[in-house]
Amino acid sequence: MPPETSGQMVACWARIRARLRDEVGEVEYRTWLRQMTLQGIDGDEAVILLPTRFLRDWVNSHYGDRLRALWQAEDANVRRVEIRVAQAATAEPVMADGAGMASSRPEPSGLAESLAPAPRPPAEPRTSDPRSDWVVPLEARFTFDTFVVGKPNEFAHACARRVAERPASPGFNPLFLYGGVGLGKTHLMHAIAWAIREGETARTVAYMSAEKFMYRFIAALRSQSTMEFKETLRAVDVLMIDDLQFLIGKDNTQEEFFHTFNALVDQGKQIVVSSDKPPSDLAGIEDRLRTRLGCGMVADLHATTYELRLSILQAKAAAAQVLVPPKVMELLATKITSNVRELEGALNRLVAHANLFGRPITVDSAHEVLHDVLRAHEKRVSIEEIQRKVAEHYNLRLTDMVSARRARNVARPRQVAMYLAKQLTQRSLPEIGRRFGNRDHTTVMHAVSRVSELIAQDASFAEDVALLRKMLET
């Protein structure tokens, strides 16, 4: 779907900037690109604003093509990107969505930046509406609609839905979400916030990272405005604190959070907290706070499964409207197992690359583009491990792998082990030869080609080798 509605446009724009930021790096991004705002889409042209002519020219000449390619990846209807100097009078962003109230944001989405019309001077005093500093913009694409549910996250997802539908229900307050990085904690929190904001009852939702909470609190202490700090926070209907583990060891901030927490819960307000560990493992958090954190609903996001990774890839490819062959998705889902963020990053890179060069995504291009990522995720297998597994599998002794015996029942498995050593390790042929009882590299070469031939000819042999390979790789 082309981004007709402003919500979609905001989401596309956020993704484009996130990608650009990944590509060019933080420093360059901040220097040149951070002040870009999207004015809108005019026919087949995306109009981007920058505050000065210098910046406009620079961005145009250095990033113009890239911006166009990234837009095209998001929306094929956009064929051109026009960069203009923002007039002071047109500084109002076209699609502020009620979330664009905050002045800055620690996390990499950068939505705040795009929605903030003009850069503010860095040391600006507090604005007249203290709340504007509090409400951190939500990432447009972190909604329930875009969250893919599978075994590892279904419980956390159900709890989040429940809280979004009926905030502050008994048993669900606080909602404590925990799990490793990149598994969807922030996504779920934003989804709750979006759903509550869109709900019929008007409710104020404050979402911020624990770091931001601490930073605000310390700033309030310094400027002697802690009363204001307390009042502002205690006036919200839903308070969400992301990455609570950052409060570990920060005693004063914890104390303040504890009081806010109690005040809100007493008033029947909802609290949602995320962390990388369950409450019981949060060493360095005061006991009484830990106890309170654990007394609502504690839900964990487990590591992803192959099935969930595949569903996520399918959903993301469909949303981005790109054709990703099933084999490529299988490759990514098999290799990139660490977390969803990396999986998403890999897919984005493939799409960007395909767009840039106008070539379809294939297994080969995936290997080429994601060379580094795939390698980093490759499990390191040692030759010794290969020898052991192969010997076990064929009922031989480990010494048979290095012995001079040439009987077929020993020689063939040895060849299989050499073949696997070549496939699964970075070792050179002479090195592999040496590790197999000081054999010559031509022996290894011969083994590799012999096993390849047999794999092509003999299905049951092929299955055997595939099985061994799988055992070694996982």
Interface residues with Mg ion (CB under 5 A) are 185-186
Side chain identity at residue 313, one-letter code = L
Phi/psi at 176 (5° precision): -115, 110
Residue 72 interacts, among Mg ion, ligand ADP, none and using kind-specific CB cut-offs from 5 to 8 Å, with none
Contact in structure between 350 and 369 (CB atoms under 8 Å): yes
Residue 173, C-beta contacts closer than 8 angstroms, at least 6 positions apart: 163, 167, 265, 270, 271, 296, 297
Question: Least distance in Å: CB of 109 to ligand ADP?
Answer: 9
Question: Least distance in Å: CB of 275 to ligand ADP?
Answer: 10
Instruction: Give yes or no for residue 383 binding ligand ADP (CB under 6 A).
Output: no
Peptide bond into 106 cis (omega under 30): no
Nearer to ligand ADP by C-beta: 6 or 153? Answer: 153
Among 29, 147, 217, 394, binds ligand ADP (CB under 6 A): 147
Kind of pairing between the strands at 238-242 and 270-275: parallel
Which of these ranges, 40-48, 68-76, 146-154, 407-415, lies near ligand ADP under the rule CB under 6 A? 146-154
Nearest to 419 by CA among 461, 379, 459: 461
Nearer to Mg ion by C-beta: 21 or 185? Answer: 185
Instruction: Give yes or no for residue 296 binding ligand ADP (CB under 6 A).
Output: no
CA angle 116, 122, 127 (to 5 degrees): 65
Which of these ranges, 53-61, 141-149, 289-297, 384-392, lies near ligand ADP under the rule CB under 6 A? 141-149
Number of helices (H), then strands (E), belonging to the chain: the values are: 20, 8
Nearer to ligand ADP by C-beta: 186 or 415? Answer: 186
Instruction: Give yes or no for residue 182 binding ligand ADP (CB under 6 A).
Output: yes
Question: Least distance in Å: CB of 248 to ligand ADP?
Answer: 17
Instruction: Give yes or no for residue 299 binding ligand ADP (CB under 6 A).
Output: no
**Residue nearest to Mg ion as judged by C-beta position:** 186
Kind of pairing between the strands at 45-50 and 205-209: unpaired
Residue 53, C-beta contacts closer than 8 angstroms, at least 6 positions apart: 85
Question: Least distance in Å: CB of 312 to ligand ADP?
Answer: 5
Task: Give me 409's structure tokens.
Answer: 């029942």
Nearer to ligand ADP by C-beta: 146 or 225? Answer: 146
Nearer to ligand ADP by C-beta: 1 or 202? Answer: 1
Among 69, 115, 312, 386, binds ligand ADP (CB under 6 A): 312
Residue 187 interacts, among Mg ion, ligand ADP, none and using kind-specific CB cut-offs from 5 to 8 Å, with ligand ADP
DSSP summary character for residue 302? P
Instruction: Give yes or no for residue 344 binding ligand ADP (CB under 6 A).
Output: yes
DSSP summary character for residue 137? P
Nearer to Mg ion by C-beta: 185 or 216? Answer: 185
Number of residues in the chain: 474
Which of these ranges, 39-47, 183-191, 198-206, 318-326, lies near ligand ADP under the rule CB under 6 A? 183-191
Unique residue bearing structure tokens 């012995």: 403
Q: Is 147 exposed, middle or buried (0-12, 13-18, 19+ CB in 10 A)?
A: buried
Residue 344 interacts, among Mg ion, ligand ADP, none and using kind-specific CB cut-offs from 5 to 8 Å, with ligand ADP
Nearer to Mg ion by C-beta: 108 or 171? Answer: 108
**Residue nearest to ligand ADP as judged by C-beta position:** 184
Kind of pairing between the strands at 45-50 and 37-42: antiparallel
Unique residue bearing structure tokens 């964990």: 300
The radius of gyration of the chain from alpha carbons, rounded to an integer in Å, stands at 27
Question: Least distance in Å: CB of 461 to ligand ADP?
Answer: 40
- Alpha-carbon distance 59 to 67, whole Å? 9
Contact positions vs ligand ADP (CB under 6 A): 142, 146-148, 153, 179, 181-187, 312, 340-341, 344
